[in-house]
A and B are shown apart, each in its own frame.
Chain A
């Protein structure tokens, strides 16, 4: 596991970070369109 931890957690970390960023930007856009 330790040999490949960088690859495994790098894949999961970036994936969920990107999904989170999409949600954050989308909610910001939603607030702006309501204003």
Chain B
């Protein structure tokens, strides 16, 4: 397969159209499996009771909020480096979904914090840096919307996306670098999981579902952007 063939919006458009339904179907199936495991297989938490089940959307949404930003900034950097039209379009297509998952992470975290911490919000490093991520997404979207010429909008947005990526390690390591009310990482690549296997399975299934969902909506959105710019 010649990958460079698909670097052009005109050739990527039909490919995106063929792939999107498959990712959407995978998202629906994984979401159904994740919710089943999360609500009917995973046991009740000994300390938090049933409210801990917010973890099955909160943690995957938080992961996706950071992952999408990194992917968005990679596309933006590619666009700046090689002046490829599709890169800017992909970055633009990713931003709304990234902002949505950031808002979901903040909302679900807030509703989880009230019964467990006794407060909806606290200005600790994790929560504040995640809120800053939402502002970065909104700033990226607003900046692009404020510039009429699409290629200039892509370049301006790309600079903001690349500068803002420094916030991602700050979010990730905030619970290590500072004394936060937010707990440490739920899952680590370097140590054994600290939660029940069913809980971990439910969380990973929902993370995969959100991932597939993000790809599906991004592909549909980038096709809209391609057509709008051709228009």
Residues in chain A within 8 A of chain B (CB atoms): 1, 3-4, 7-8, 10-12, 14-15, 18-19, 22-23, 26-27, 29-30, 33-34
Q: Would B58 and A11 count as touching, CB distance under 8 A?
A: yes
Indicate which residue in A7, A26, A30, A33 contacts B111 across the interface (CB closer than 8 Å).
A7
Q: Would A4 and B115 count as touching, CB distance under 8 A?
A: yes
Q: Tell me how far the C-beta of A22 lies from the nearest C-beta in chain B, rounded to whole angstroms.
A: 6
Instruction: Find the residue from A3, A14, A19, A29 having the highest chain B CB count within 10 A.
Output: A19
Q: Would A30 and B224 count as touching, CB distance under 8 A?
A: yes
Q: Would A8 and B224 count as touching, CB distance under 8 A?
A: no
Indicate which residue in A4, A10, A15, A27 contacts B50 across the interface (CB closer than 8 Å).
A4
| Contacts across chains A and B counted by CB atoms under 8 Å | 63
Bin chain B's interface residue count.
20 to 34
Q: Would B217 and A11 count as touching, CB distance under 8 A?
A: no
Residue of B nearest to A12 (CB): B57
Q: Tell me how far the C-beta of B18 lies from the nearest C-beta in chain A, rounded to whole angstroms.
A: 15
Q: Tell me how far the C-beta of A2 lies from the nearest C-beta in chain B, rounded to whole angstroms.
A: 9
Query: With A11-B54, A11-B107 known to touch, is A22 a contact of B217 (CB < 8 Å)?
Result: yes
Q: Would A15 and B49 count as touching, CB distance under 8 A?
A: no
Asked whether B153 is an interface residue with its Cβ less than 8 Å from the other chain, the reply is: no
Query: With A30-B220, A33-B224 known to touch, is A22 a contact of B104 (CB < 8 Å)?
Result: no
Q: Would A23 and B54 count as touching, CB distance under 8 A?
A: no
Asked whether B84 is an interface residue with its Cβ less than 8 Å from the other chain, the reply is: no
Query: With A15-B104, A22-B97 known to touch, is A30 a contact of B217 (CB < 8 Å)?
Result: no
> Once the chains are docked, how many angstroms separate the CA of A18 from the CA of B217?
13
